[in-house]
Homo-oligomer: A and B are copies of this chain.
Amino acid sequence: MSRSSSNPATRGGSVTLVTVAARAGVSAQTVSNALNNPDLLRTETLERVRRAIDETGYRPRRAAQTLRTRSSRLIGYGVRPVQAGKSTPVMDRFLHALSQAAESADYRVLLFATSSEEGGLRGYEELIDEHDVDGFVLSDNGERIDPRHAWLAQSRVPFVSFGRTWSKRQLGDWVDVDGASGTDTAVEHLIALGHHKIAFLGWPRGSGVGDDRANGWRRAMARHGLVTRGRRAESEEDLEAARQSACSLLDKGATAVVAASDTLALGCYRALRDRQAEAGRDVSVIGFDNSPISEMLSPPLTTIAQPVERVAHECIRLLLARIENPSKPPEQILLEPTILVRQSVSQPML
């Protein structure tokens, strides 16, 4: 009895390179050589592998497909350094969803570590140059100018972005989440509970994502004829800075705070605790991103969640359409976030 019958590779009836290797009693690399570079092998070994291929009925899948289409079936994705203490709440979920969406279309995701040097372009070049990737998924934008877009467009390399570039001129396909709609929904939720003094704790002006989230708050307030003057404060993505900025909003009598991120919302929790008040009981607080911390806070934080799995799925769909037809007009998809209501929100105190 050969080893291959107890090999998981034969489960489900599919015959793979590993099945062949087990049958022939050689490594997978040797089978690969037999197929692609037979002159590297001794005649005896080659004969053994060929017999195993015949016996198992193995047909190399990717190799055959690549020859036909000249496609590597690889999609490049750059991973940025994670700073200590800075969480990337959305990115790890996005990466799994992206791998899964790619695989359902018979593609794989090839990672590379990006740095800020040369706008991070070096890694993109190398992936094209060395691994023949068919295209790229970009993320982690939020800048007004992203040199990667212009460069990839000029180099005629297919790409899709998770996130807009926020410049007037849109190069290429993108999928994004409507941040303004998210904060608009947050304001509507608070107004329905009876709040009028609704403040916004945002990032400093100038970031595309941050300004978008601020705009949703402003337009919802305007729609209801509510005052926004003196109800906006700014903070970097830092707990202590957020605490201080939140204080000024509370000083001016806000009964509710919509924050541009869960970290800023936590800063607001701190500012409330400083004055022996509590989120949800004394002042309502809504965050953004549904990061792992949001559920663990006390009280658990009401927050705006991005549909990360759908973003990944749409990214792959647009990218494959672009690879198929490089000259089609750009396509852009804006998805709606949803509000997750937890205990940090209640009716205003009278």
Contacts and interface: CB of A to CB of B under 8 A. Distances in A.
A112 B125 contact: no
B32 A70 contact: yes
A275 interface: no
* Total identical chains: 2
A111 B109 contact: yes
Contacts of A27: 155-157, 326
Interface of A: 3, 7-9, 11-12, 16-18, 21-22, 26-29, 32-33, 36-37, 40, 60-63, 70, 73-74, 77, 79-82, 84-88, 91-93, 95-96, 99-100, 103, 108-113, 118-119, 121, 123, 125-132, 147, 151, 154-157, 239, 263, 266, 270, 273, 290, 292-293, 295-296, 298, 326
A8 B156 CA distance: 14
Contacts of A151: 7-8
Contact of A36 (B22, B33, B70, B80): B70
Contacts of A239: 296
A161 to B, nearest CB: 18
Nearest to A100: B113
7 contacts: A3-B154, A8-B119, A17-B128, A27-B156, A79-B95, A84-B290, A103-B113
A70 B16 CA distance: 19
A86 B157 contact: no
B95 A111 contact: yes
Interface centre among A84, A113, A121, A127, by most chain B C-beta atoms within 10 angstroms, is: A113
A243 B112 CA distance: 40
Nearest to A8: B121
Given A292-B86, A296-B293, A113 B91 contact: no
Contacts of A111: 77, 95, 99, 108-111
A73 B130 contact: yes
A338 to B, nearest CB: 13
Contacts of A121: 8-9
Contacts of A37: 70
B28 A156 contact: yes
Given A11-B118, A16-B129, A99-B112, 11 more contacts: A21-B155, A29-B70, A36-B70, A74-B110, A82-B96, A96-B113, A108-B111, A111-B111, A239-B296, A270-B298, A293-B293
